[in-house]
Amino acid sequence: MVRAQVLRLVSLPLWQALSPGRLQLELHALPQLGKHWKHLLKKEQKVCAHVHAYMRECVYEVLAPTICSP
C-alpha cells in the first residue's frame, strides 16, 4: 500500500505503471482517489484522440505524394 506521506509526492499518472490488480487495490484502499483517477483517464482519452488525428494527417501528408504521383 502507498503511504500517505509518499502519496503527496507521487503524481497520479505514475500509477499507470502499476499492474491492474494492484491499481484496483490502491484505489479501493483510497476511494477519494477514484474520482481523480477517472478524471485523469477521461483527460488522457481526449489527448489520445487528438494525437491519433494528428498522426493520421501526418501519415497522409507523407504518403499522398507517393501514392498520387504518376
Residue 21: which pLDDT band, with cuts at 50, 70 and 90?
very high
Q: Is the predicted pLDDT of residue 8 greater than 60, yes or no?
A: no
Torsion of CA 26, 31, 33, 38, to 10 degrees: 100
Rounded Cα distance between 43 and 47, Å, is 6
Q: Is the predicted pLDDT of residue 69 greater than 80, yes or no?
A: no
Boundaries of every domain in the chain: 4-68
What are 43-60's pLDDT values in tens digits?
A: 888 887 888 788 878 877
Query: Tell me, what amino acid is at 16?
Result: Q
Q: Is the predicted pLDDT of residue 2 greater than 70, yes or no?
A: no
Q: What average pLDDT does range 58-67 have in this prediction? A: 75
pTM score: 0.53
